[in-house]
């Protein structure tokens, strides 16, 4: 089931494996702060009816949460939408996971203006269902925005730790093998 609102496409579904319902909101927010506020209000009304559900609000919000999320030659009017966006996130108890991969998600052609305006916002239930989920910014390609990836059930815990048994020291070849591997993987 899907609902199309101004600047938002909401799709509701059910996970096949668990049968749990979920709702995803695809957002493409306007640039001007007053119009953004209208959108936050519309979204808040929808989210209020979805408490304790698996909800994800994502897309291009055209808004930042703090000064560090934007880099520009001018510092004008960046604060306009900050408070409204923050209070939208906080009042709806949405979780904004740290962005991995890169600091900014949008870049202007001049190479000096960039900001973090794309993100995944998750409900508490979403985070409890997938406690290890994370959002990752991928390489930009032809667009001026980076694609964002939200990965769940990730079993990749990083490089495997090295294990060694004390008795291995008694093998004469071990020192030689370590030396060779050390050279190969330097």
| Contacting positions for another protein (CB under 8 A) | 2, 4-9, 11, 24, 26-28, 56, 58-60, 106, 118, 120, 130, 138, 141-153
Instruction: Give the Cα separation of 159 and 176 in Å (integer).
Output: 24
Nearest to 30 by CA among 89, 84, 68: 84
Cβ proximity to another protein, 28 vs 168, nearer residue: 28
Minimum distance from residue 172 beta carbon to another protein (Å): 46
Residues 6+ apart with CB under 8 A from 9: 2, 3, 25, 26
State the pairing for strand pair 95-96/118-122: antiparallel
Minimum distance from residue 140 beta carbon to another protein (Å): 10
Minimum distance from residue 180 beta carbon to another protein (Å): 34
Cβ proximity to another protein, 47 vs 121, nearer residue: 121
Cβ proximity to another protein, 132 vs 180, nearer residue: 132
Minimum distance from residue 80 beta carbon to another protein (Å): 20
Give alpha helix (H) positions in the chain.
33-48, 82-91, 124-129, 173-184
């Amino acid at each position: 089931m899907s609902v199309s609102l101004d600047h938002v496409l909401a799709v509701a579904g059910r996970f096949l494996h668990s049968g749990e319902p979920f709702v995803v909101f695809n957002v493409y927010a306007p640039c001007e702060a007053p119009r953004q506020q209208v959108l936050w209000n519309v979204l808040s009304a929808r989210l209020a009816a979805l408490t304790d559900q698996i909800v994800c609000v994502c897309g291009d919000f055209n808004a930042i949460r703090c000064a560090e999320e934007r880099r520009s030659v001018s510092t004008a009017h960046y604060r306009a939408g900050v408070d409204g966006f923050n209070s939208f996130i906080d009042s709806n108890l949405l979780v904004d996971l740290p962005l991995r991969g890169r600091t900014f998600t949008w870049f202007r052609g001049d190479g000096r203006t960039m900001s973090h305006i794309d993100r995944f916002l998750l409900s508490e239930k979403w985070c409890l269902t997938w406690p290890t989920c994370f959002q990752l910014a991928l390489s930009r390609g032809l667009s001026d925005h980076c694609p964002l990836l939200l990965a769940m059930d990730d079993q990749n815990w990083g490089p495997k730790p090295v294990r060694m048994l004390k008795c291995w020291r008694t093998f004469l070849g071990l020192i030689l093998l370590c030396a060779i591997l050390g050279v190969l993987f330097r």
